[in-house]
Amino acid sequence: MHPPRRAALGLLPLLLLLPPPAPGAANKPTPCQRCRGLVDKFNQGMVDTANKNFGGGNTAWEEKTLSKYEFSEIRLLEILEGLCESSDFECNQMLEAQEEHLEAWWLQLKNEYPDLFEWFCVKTLKVCCLPGTYGPDCLECQGGSQRPCSGNGHCSGDGSRQGDGSCRCHVGYQGALCADCMDGYFSSLRNETHSFCTACDESCKTCSGPTNRDCGECEVGWVLEEDACVDVDECAAETPPCSAAQFCKNVNGSYTCEECDSSCVGCTGEGPGNCKECIPGYARELGQCADVDECSLAAKACVRKNENCYNTPGSYVCVCPDGFEETEDACVPPAEAEVTEEESPTQPPAHEDL
Q: 174-187: buried (b, 16+ CB within 10 Å) or exposed (e) per residue?
A: bbebbbbbeebbbe
Query: What pLDDT, in 10s, does the model give residues 267-312?
Result: 999 999 999 999 999 999 999 999 999 999 999 999 999 999 999 9
CB atoms within 10 A of CB 354: 3
The answer to whether residues 260 and 266 touch, using CB atoms and an 8 Å cutoff, is yes
In the chain, the percentage of residues whose pLDDT exceeds 70 is: 82
The answer to whether residues 144 and 132 touch, using CB atoms and an 8 Å cutoff, is yes
Q: Helix, strand or coil for residue 18? A: coil
Domain(s) labelled CATH 2.10.25 in the chain stretch across 299-332
Domain(s) labelled CATH 2.10.220 in the chain stretch across 140-230
The answer to whether residues 98 and 90 touch, using CB atoms and an 8 Å cutoff, is no
Pairing mode, if any, of strands 308-312 and 288-291? unpaired
Identify the pLDDT of residue 151: 94
Query: What pLDDT, in 10s, does the model give residues 112-158?
Result: 999 999 999 999 999 999 999 999 999 999 999 999 999 999 999 99
Is residue 274 classed exposed, middle or buried when 0-12, 13-18 and 19+ CB atoms within 10 A define those classes?
middle
Q: Could you tell me how many helices (H) and strands (E) the chain has, helices first?
A: 7, 22
Query: What pLDDT, in 10s, does the model give residues 286-296?
Result: 999 999 999 99
Answer whether residue 35 shows pLDDT above 70.
yes
Q: Helix, strand or coil for residue 12? A: helix
pTM score, whole prediction: 0.61
Q: Model confidence at 341, in pLDDT bands (50, 70, 90)?
A: low
* CATH number for the segment(s) 299-332: 2.10.25
Identify the pLDDT of residue 53: 55
Going by C-alpha positions, the residue among 208, 250, 247, 244 that lies closest to residue 232 is: 250
The fold of the 140-230 domain, in CATH, is 2.10.220
Amino acid (1-letter code) at residue 242: C
Q: In Å, what is the CA distance from 332 to each residue of 304, 328, 339, 343?
A: 10, 10, 11, 16
The answer to whether residues 207 and 216 touch, using CB atoms and an 8 Å cutoff, is yes
Q: Helix, strand or coil for residue 206? A: strand
Cα gap 351→278, rounded to integer Å:
74
Average per-residue pLDDT in the chain? 85
CB atoms within 10 A of CB 171: 10
CA dihedral (157, 158, 164, 167) positive or negative: positive
Q: Helix, strand or coil for residue 265? A: strand
DSSP string, 53-67: T--SS-HHHHHHHHH
Q: Model confidence at 338, in pLDDT bands (50, 70, 90)?
A: low
